[in-house]
Structure 1
Amino acid sequence: MSIKRIEVGPRMSQAVVHGSVVYLAGQVAKGDSVAAQTQAVLADIDALLAQAGTDKTKILTATIYLSDMSTFGEMNAVWDKWVSPGNTPARATVEAALATPEYKVEIVVTAAI
């Protein structure tokens, strides 16, 4: 079975397709708020999924990392407008220290093709 890598860098690929599954790296974005960062991250996820030949209706799992769990509602307000009704993935949300203090949210998804 072949492996396709998308947006390959020296440390990691932004997405890897194996068989009928695409695995995305954790997506982060700059922005002044959790809402702004979440919107940017979800747009990046849409773009990566499109490059892999799929879309958000096929997301199987999502793991969301928040630097501060008190922003859970703010992130969810953006997520709820974006996620495909009737196609919601299995999801976990956890609080974690992210790569740098400027990042407030990181999202990892796995999707079917």
Structure 2
Amino acid sequence: MSIRRSGTNKRLSKLVVHRGVAYLAGQVADDLGADLAGQTQQILAKIDALLAEAGTDKTRILTAQIWLASMADAPKMNVVWEAWMPEGAAPARATVGAPLATDRHLIEIKVVAAID
């Protein structure tokens, strides 16, 4: 079976599709001046776009991994996440606190989704 990659550079691919599964790289916000809610909204929009490119959508997400610079931000992130996630479609999910790429990065999200 073939492997399809998109947004590929020497370090990573933003999207890898194989055997009916879309694997997304960890996504971060472009506007790092935004607050936690703003960064989360930016990331979820990127995830929507990558899933559409793969031929799937957020209702097909199997797993999500979320890294927060501060676990104190989890309730704020959950408000945005729950508004974005359709009822009954929540994936298996883990949320952890971790140092991120810079002090301005407040959140990073990675998902895996079924295509067929």
TM-score over 0.5 (shorter chain): yes
2:67 corresponds to: 65
Amino acid at match of 2:53: Q
Q: What is the aligned residue count?
A: 113
Structure 2: distance between partners of 1:107 and 1:100: 15
Amino acid at match of 1:94: V
Q: Secondary structure at the match of 2:79?
A: helix
Task: Give the structure-1-normalised TM-score.
Answer: 0.97
Structure 1: distance between partners of 2:96 and 2:33: 20
1:24 lines up with 2:24 in the alignment = yes
1:107 corresponds to: 109
Alpha-carbon RMSD across the aligned residues, in angstroms, is 0.7
Q: What's the CA shift for 1:56?
A: 0.2
* Structure 1 residue runs without a partner (length 5+): none
Amino acid at match of 1:55: D
Moved more, 16-25 or 26-35: 26-35
Give the 3 Å change call, closer, same or farther, for CA 81–31 of structure 1 in structure 2: farther
Amino acid at match of 1:73: P
Amino acid at match of 1:108: K
* Structure 2 residue runs without a partner (length 5+): none
Structure 1: distance between partners of 2:54 and 2:110: 15
2:37 corresponds to: 35
Structure 1: distance between partners of 2:62 and 2:25: 14
Structure 1: distance between partners of 2:82 and 2:105: 21
Task: Give the structure-2-normalised TM-score.
Answer: 0.95
Consecutive aligned runs of 4 or more in structure 1 exceeding 2 Å deviation = none
Q: What's the CA shift for 1:50?
A: 0.4
Higher strand fraction (1 or 2): 1
Structure 2: distance between partners of 1:59 and 1:93: 15
